[in-house]
Amino acid sequence: MSSLSDDELLRELGVEYEIVKERSHTPREERIIAGFEEIQQFVEQYGRAPQHGEDNDIFERLYAVRLDRLREQEECRALLASLDNQGLLSGVEIAPVDPIKSLDDDELLAELEGATGPTDITELRHVRSRAEIQAAEEIANREKCQDFEHFRPLFEQTERELKSGIRQARPFGKDASVNTGDFFVLGGQLAYVAEKGEEFRAPNGHPDARLRVIYSNATESNLLLRSLQRALYKDEAGRRLTDPDLGPLFSETWDEADIESGTIYVLRSLSNHPFVSEHRELIHKIGVTGGKVETRIANAAHDATYLLADVDVIATYKLAGINRTKLEGLFHRIFAPAQLDLTIHDRFGHPVRPQEWFLVPLHVIDEAVSRIRDGSITDVVYDPKKASLVGIAQ
């Protein structure tokens, strides 16, 4: 007998059959099915349906919200009916809620965030909320800072303050505030908050604001305050830089014995060193003493601190109730970008690099003293290219 095909054999045997067309699902339906199967796996593992409640695991709460949504929608119940061998989609009355367009886990997590607070959501290892993804994109989406030259002196000054101990780098978290003028370390770079927009309320009720953040690699980003906070929390090396702690420069009360407690002095060297001779009108030593300036400089010609040469006193400023050490440190911090880089040999032949000498015009030193007196010195930095004090944000 000739061989018969399967169809022919079935016809010979009188067996009726019908070709069942395999049903295909849309991507959304596939996602709904996959989500329902995760809930079923939970039920198999724990022997109960997932429950709401702040004491429950975040994933159980997510499954509970998802199950509620599946029960509410007729199309979902019809799609999953043949798979519901545990009876999860029937027998429970659910209070009606507003319909949703999709069953996106990010959207479900966003609903949970209002109840659990941002910390529970952002600490998930396997599920990232839409807010987290947006925050990461904002941090990464940096553009070239077109006016970085205005900020460069500020970054250079801040780095010097950090190295000298005037500023401290502290772990971000104890103080999570973000304001204009704040410095942070993020991703190994200095980040400066140049602008902060008007505050508004985020969907979860927390205050937020749009920021302009400048980075030390000459880039900038326009991001939300809470995005910056999240990035700093997640960066194990994320730090806040403290403000310069200069302490009180002047006492609030004077007594008769304290009227001339400090003298700022400005010296000009009479050294015949070629570089000093060429720039004599610009090279100045700035110091503070509680005694007489004449006594301080009496041995200048034999002291490498004074370039082994006599000096002229070209300006003095009398100040009362002054913290002399901190005031001197303030001067040196302001004019650090113009510090004289000169090495000479002392009388024993040892190389010495004198400190406290700066390439600064006398009129700028006068302005600095005035700004110290009125308290505006913290608003400016010294720009060597312009040979002037400039506003920090200029």
pLDDT of residue 266: 92
Residue 371, token pair as written in the block: 């700004």
Q: Are 366 and 316 in contact (CB under 8 A)?
A: no
pLDDT of residue 111: 44
Render pLDDT for 232-252 as a digit per residue (tens, 0 to 9).
Answer: 888 888 888 887 654 445 444
Distance CA 339, CA 284 (A): 10
What pTM, to 2 d.p., does this model score?
Answer: 0.38
pLDDT of residue 174: 63
Which helix (H) or strand (E) segment holds residue 136: the answer is helix 130-140
pLDDT of residue 3: 60
Tokens 């010195």 sit on residue: 377
User: In the chain, what is the greatest distance between 2 CA atoms, to the nearest angstrom?
Assistant: 132
Q: Residue 366 — φ and ψ, nearest 5°?
A: -60, -45
Q: Are 377 and 333 in contact (CB under 8 A)?
A: no
Annotated domain spans of the chain:
27-128, 141-241, 256-391
Render pLDDT for 71-100 as a digit per residue (tens, 0 to 9).
Answer: 888 888 888 888 888 888 875 544 444 434
Distance CA 56, CA 110 (A): 17
Identity of the residue numbered 108: L
Q: Is 42 helix (H, G, I), strand (E, B) or coil?
A: helix
Best CA proximity match to 390, nearest among 149, 190, 146: 149
DSSP assignments along 212-275, one per residue: EEEETTSEEEEEEHHHHHHHHHH-TT-EEEPPP----SB-SS--GGGTT-EEEEEEEE----HH
Best CA proximity match to 240, nearest among 288, 286, 182, 193: 182
pLDDT of residue 270: 92
* pLDDT tens digit at each of 394 positions of the chain: 456 666 666 566 665 555 545 557 787 888 888 888 888 888 888 888 888 876 677 777 788 888 888 888 888 888 888 888 888 887 554 444 443 444 454 454 444 443 333 433 333 344 444 444 454 444 557 889 998 998 898 898 888 877 766 778 888 876 678 888 889 998 888 999 988 888 888 776 778 889 999 999 999 999 888 889 888 888 888 888 887 654 445 444 444 444 445 788 899 999 888 888 899 999 999 888 877 888 888 888 888 788 888 999 998 887 766 666 777 777 888 888 888 888 887 767 777 778 789 999 999 998 888 887 777 777 788 888 888 898 865 4
Tally DSSP H helices, then E strands, for the chain: 13, 17
Distance CA 335, CA 141 (A): 35
pLDDT of residue 29: 82
Query: Alpha carbon of 304 to those of 120, 285, 348, 356: distances in Å?
Result: 62, 13, 11, 12
